[in-house]
Amino acid sequence: MKTGIIQDDLFLQHDTGTFHPERKERLIAIREGMRNYPHKDRLLPLKPRLASEAELQLIHPPAYIRNIEATAGRPSTQLDPDTVASAMSYEVARYAVGGLLTLIDALFAGEVNNGFAFVRPPGHHAEPDRPMGFCLFGNAAIGAAYALHKYKLRKVLVIDFDVHHGNGTQEAFYSRSDVLYVSSHQFPLYPGTGDFSETGSGAGAGFTVNLPLPARTGDVTYYRLYEEVVAPIATSYRPDFILVSAGYDAHADDPLAGMEVTAGGFRDLSQVLRKLAEKLCNGRIVFLLEGGYHLKALQESVIESLNVLTGQPNQVPLSKPDAVFEAVLARARQALGSYWKF
């Protein structure tokens, strides 16, 4: 088994400043955590490439791409109150997309069994025509569209466990059925979208699954949510490929949210997703880094997910009585029961 890895110093050149939460030290912390990783023999480092204009246009119109390109060479451009671009950000963002596409290509060529793209800037808040929430291009959305187009897939499942709702990914596929978008996130919280009632429209009705959670939700609720709600929906959908927007800001120590997930909780969640991939699509699953802003928590949580991808044994936790889960389950069934059984 080989787990493909996208990891490159060029992603440090997206300069958001010293005090911005989404800063280069995030990737440095992950790299330091992997320095003595005991299962390096199961990792296959891959070199990212520059995403083409046509690939970006799978999600973003040309005018939007030109707006981001216009930031190139400028010391700092404030794109919205939270989102900044530096002189190299446009190029780095294209490599972030291209890194994910490189990993997808390696997966479908049989060179790797699964993978993790450690890239920045993140992408799940970037709408087709608007940068926001630290994001320039919709990395996950482009990756899903690319896999559908290049490999003639019927269905892609995008799972987003970042603590913030991935409004950009949702918007990209809201009226489509060839991508099932599933998001668990703290609610209410930035960006304010992702309530139960947002389930898709037209041909996409039922193919957006939002699981908003209250603050202080922890490991037990997350595990049961993925085991008892996400897994049955995914099994009914039967995707050809699973792409995970892996944000680790639901960790108890993260400064931008109020959840109580531990690194072990992310391990258990990752295990559910990997088993789903093995059951439904020959193990084809790729993790893509999104949020996570406490450096130590990010480092430890990523390593736990990586352990799952590289095949380290993990004891399945026991389900426990959980009032939060039962409340979310009832609301989810009310919103989605006409589309999915769980």
Catalytic residue numbers, as ranges: 125
- What DSSP designation does 137 have? S
In 155-201, which ranges are continuous DSSP H helix?
Answer: 167-173
- 3-class SS at 17? coil
Measured distance CA(85)–CA(71) in Å, rounded? 7
Which one, of 84, 277, 80, lies nearest residue 167 by Cα? 80
Cis peptide before 188 (omega within 30 of 0): yes
Contact in structure between 110 and 157 (CB atoms under 8 Å): no
- Report which of 81, 90, 134, 340 is spatially closest to residue 232, judged by C-alpha positions: 340
What is the distance between the alpha carbons of residues 94 and 57, in angstroms, rounded to a whole number?
12
- Whole-angstrom distance, CA of residue 140 vs CA of residue 122: 9
Pairing between β-strand 241-246 and β-strand 156-160 as defined by DSSP bridges: parallel
Neighbours of 234 (CB within 10 A): 26
